[in-house]
A = this chain, B = another copy of it.
């Protein structure tokens, strides 16, 4: 569960990633399952995932800006992966959609108040910020160890090879007019 009991009995949601990360990764998996060289229209990606089209377009634009997908205009236009799925990590997609900053923002509390840290005491990051920088590095390293190709393999294992084939065929048909 993502909720917890906050102070004063108010139930709070913990900070969470924007949902674009989830849908963006599902799109990458689907594009990897599409027949080779085949572009998939944004509307088809939206239909397959039952997501709002305009919402998904923003996600796809961010992925395109990051060089993860490329778009093609024309009668059977749409999106393709811009490079092989084994060359796209989950971290690439995460950074494209969430940015490359860490979760922790240090506001330099140590420099405030009646006894502020100054000069040499501030040459290194605050000890608290340093701990979170390390945790962010560990988070990103974990995401960097999995590629879209790994996600495709995992999806094939989960849904079965026949279903993966049916998805590919559905994608081939759906782009046609």
Contacts and interface: CB of A to CB of B under 8 A. Distances in A.
Given A131-B90, A135-B143, A2 B114 contact: no
Given A7-B65, A22-B109, A128-B25, A103 B16 contact: yes
A70 to B, nearest CB: 15
Nearest to A133: B142
A100 B4 contact: yes
A112 to B, nearest CB: 4
A22 B107 contact: yes
A76 interface: no
Nearest to A127: B154
Interface in A97-153: 98-107, 109-110, 112-115, 117, 121-122, 124, 126-128, 130-132, 134-143, 146, 150-151
Contact of A114 (B117, B136, B170): B170
Give this chain's copy count. Answer: 2
Nearest to A50: B112
Nearest to A103: B17
The 8 A-B pairs with the shortest beta carbon distances in the complex, nearest first, are: A127-B154, A4-B99, A50-B112, A14-B99, A2-B101, A135-B142, A138-B138, A7-B61
Given A16-B104, A51-B109, 8 more contacts: A4-B101, A13-B101, A14-B101, A23-B109, A47-B114, A103-B103, A130-B154, A137-B142
